[in-house]
Amino acid sequence: MNIVITGASSGIGAVLAERLGSAGHRVALAARREVELQEVARRAGAGALVVPTDVTRRADVERLRDRAIEAFGYVDVWVNNAGRGMTKAALELTDDDLDAMITANVKSALYGMQAIVPHFKERGRGHVINISSMLSRVPFASYRAAYSAAKAALNSLTANVRMDLAATHPGIHVSIVIPGLVTTSFGENAAGGSPPIPAAAMADAQTPEVVAEAIAGLIDRPVAEVYTNPNHRAMAVRYFEDVGAFERNIARGRPQSSAHRD
């Protein structure tokens, strides 16, 4: 398959590129950092394509699509993985803070979907995969308020695109992936830094390799949603069954098999 991955210079995106490249897929790698992308491409195999891209710019995303189609002939899967966190309580957020999180985590994915879906419609098939966060479902870390809100918006946007395409183009799949805490540099790169992660939360963390394996499995067997931690689907159900009780326990510091995407 021919697969485009944004946010591919590090973390989940880089590991996913290597995992897919080693399986024989051709990958187009997008991020702002060209040097790091070139290194990932070296590990992902000779067919890897490097396209320096700022996914917050629609023209860059459209150029990424064009470069991938030019190099590969067509695209089978588009993974909107790029995103960024922020450490700030909800009541302290400025307009610029919220705008930055929406741009990095929602608009970037929207640009990707709007760029590639017409190509998928022409082919009658394709797969969009958007990477979200467990924080979009359960507020384990209120200091990630704007990031959590943006990822919740991404979930809704993804669901609506999936429903629209199901009615007219059933060969096009649209999926959301919901990781929890992942051992990457996400927290270090978050605007405002990141507070120390409690030991109980770290015990529940997944490696980017585990998350990449879940995404690779989703490419092979498309479904609407994937929780990369098998315990998290039931946890999200418990949260919505009694939001007040669940949140009180979190606020009191009681273990909830804590998870957030860092």
Residues with a catalytic annotation lie at 147
Nearest to 97 by CA among 150, 32, 155, 33: 150
Question: Can you read off the two tokens belonging to residue 106?
Answer: 């929602």
Helices (H), 51-191: 58-72, 95-102, 108-123, 145-168, 186-189
Cα maximum dimension of the chain: 55
In the chain, % helix, strand, coil (3-state, to 5) comes to 55, 15, 30
Question: Can you read off the two tokens belonging to residue 76?
Answer: 């089978």
Partners of residue 128 on adjacent β-strands: 78, 174
Helices (H), the chain: 11-22, 34-44, 58-72, 95-102, 108-123, 145-168, 186-189, 199-203, 208-220, 232-241, 243-251
